[in-house]
Amino acid sequence: MALRCNPAKGNPGRKGPLVVFFLACCLSIFGALPLVALSGDVQVSPPAQPPLLNFACELDTVSLQALFADPSVIPDLQALHAGVTLALGDFSPERADIVRRLNHAGIPVTAWLAIPKDQGYYLNLSNEPQAAQRFAAFQKWTTDNGLHWSAIGLDIEPNIQEFAAVRDHKLRFAFTLLKRYFEFGMVTQARREYSTLIHKMQTYGYTVETYQFPFIADERAAHTTVLERLFGLVDVRGNREALMLYTSFNHSMDSALIWVYGPEAQVIAVGSTRSDPAFDAKFPPLSWDEFSRDLLVAGHFSHSVGVYSLEGCVHRGFLTRLRSMDWNRSVLIPGEAIQKAQLLRRRFHRALWLATNLPWLVLIALALIIVWFWRRRVNRSLAAARRT
């Protein structure tokens, strides 16, 4: 599509190139230009070999003890040669006992480093000092209890409490986002501090994993930091990175989200299998068919697949069923689902572009308005002079 200024309708003068540029930007953002070609169904071949599974577990200590009181859990994990990523909400002797049981059973355990909930729980832009303190406490607890870890996991997500405090006050929420939009220095500082923390962990001999939302891949492609600034994410990597591709948030997309983001992921995490009364009405957990399908598609891209969550798989009988799962079957992803996933990603790219370039677009719009008023005033003056 070509945009042209028609000289027969007046001389556009200096504002012509600005108008063309502004219109092209608007068209590319809001969909007047073609987006994505229709995709046909995709037949995903089975993985070359079953991936290594690692089950995330996010239970309080009492619930954790009850989970591992089930005599089938550890044998199932052993039969699957699977690992456990254990959220460390506390450093209690009871939790240490669970880790020792897993160590004794030969099950790899990843330490999911979490900070106290009143400090945000997840790691993000605003709590690196607390994360460093938490690691120091973790190291002491590990040494005191003789625990062994296959890796340390850093789950990087927004500070839910911070946004919950202002979500009911629209003006405060808007002001918070506006303030964050211009905090470029905090992103640089947080990346540097978390990189230092990861290096420190590695000097202790730990393999470090980071868990990120898939949209961080889009932000890298767009060469921007707007997500980090607005939502407190930190684009930092350890030895490997897992993208959390949870299709339970949109069941209609089938496994298309995994298919679209899979080529850019080192490790893929699928989910959620956990039932939560607060979310089940809107985001129900995966069924067995959906869960097994996601595992097969994820295994097509990654030799290691994370699963959220262990407790969900145990309570719904998935852990035992995995022992007899057929890994040699292919999966068909409908073309409509792939188109939805591609369209979602394309729109997100546009939103990132718009958010990144918003100040420039505002300046261009103001310049156009000023030029328009100036030319209108000049034309009126010329018309008055001709009449005189």
Least confident of 24-38, 110-124, 163-177, 340-354: 24-38
246-264 pLDDT per residue, tens: 999 999 999 999 999 999 9
Does 216 score more than 70 pLDDT? yes
The count of C-alpha atoms lying within 13 angstroms of the C-alpha of 239, restricted to the half-sphere facing its C-beta, is: 13
Q: Find residue 112's DSSP bridge partners.
A: 87, 153
Task: Give the chain's end-to-end CA distance (angstroms, integer).
Answer: 45
My answer on whether omega of the bond before 304 falls inside 30° of 0, hence cis, is no
Q: Quote the pLDDT of residue 6.
A: 37
* Predicted pLDDT of residue 167: 63
pLDDT band at 35 (very low <50, low <70, confident <90, very high): very low
Tokens (6 digits) for 102: 């897993």
Note the pLDDT tens digit of each residue in 224-236. Answer: 999 999 888 999 9
The pLDDT of residue 162 is 67
Q: Name the phi and psi angles at 3, rounded to 5.
A: -105, 130
- In eight-state DSSP terms, residue 250 is -
Query: pLDDT, tens digit, for every residue of 290-345?
Result: 999 999 999 999 999 999 999 999 999 999 999 999 999 999 999 999 999 999 99
- Structural Rg of the chain based on CA atoms: 26
Q: What pLDDT is stored for residue 261 in this prediction?
A: 96
How confident is the model over 169-180, as pLDDT tens digits?
667 777 777 777
Q: What tens digit of pLDDT does each residue of 45-84 get? A: 999 899 999 999 999 999 999 999 999 999 999 999 999 9
Q: Which residue has the higher pLDDT, 10 or 184?
A: 184
Write out pLDDT tens, residues 105-142.
999 999 999 998 878 889 999 899 999 999 999 999 99
Q: What string of DSSP letters covers 192-233?
A: HHHHHHHHHHHHTT--EEEEE-THHHHHHHHT--HHHHHH--
Q: What mean pLDDT is predicted for residues 286-292? A: 97
AA letter at 171: L
Taking alpha carbons only, the member of 109, 119, 46, 67 closest to residue 89 is 119
Q: Is the peptide bond before 287 cis (omega within 30 degrees of 0)?
A: no
- Alpha carbon of 102 to those of 63, 87, 108: distances in Å? 16, 14, 7
- Band of pLDDT at residue 27, cut at 50, 70 and 90: very low
Cβ proximity of 217 and 261 under 8 Å: yes
Q: What SS3 class is residue 126? A: coil
Q: How far apart are CA 92 and CA 64, in angstroms?
A: 12
Q: Which tokens hold the place of 349?
A: 């790219």
Q: What is the mean pLDDT of residues 7-21?
A: 37
What is the pLDDT averaged over residues 171-192?
83
Distance CA 170, CA 135 (A): 36
pLDDT band at 237 (very low <50, low <70, confident <90, very high): very high
The domain 42-333: what is its CATH number? 3.20.20.80
DSSP helix, strand, coil percent of the chain (3-state; round to 5):
55, 15, 30
151-155 and 42-44 beta bridge pairing: unpaired
Beta strands at 267-271 and 304-308: parallel, antiparallel or unpaired: parallel
pLDDT in tens, 198-213: 999 999 999 999 999 9
Domain ranges of the chain: 15-37+340-387, 42-333
Cβ partners under 8 Å of residue 168, min gap 6: none
Q: Are 225 and 219 spatial neighbours (Cβ–Cβ below 8 Å)?
A: yes
Q: Which residues contact 299 (CB under 8 A, 6 or more apart)?
A: 46, 47, 50, 51, 305, 327
pLDDT: which is higher, 360 or 224:
224
0.85 cut: is pTM over it?
Answer: no
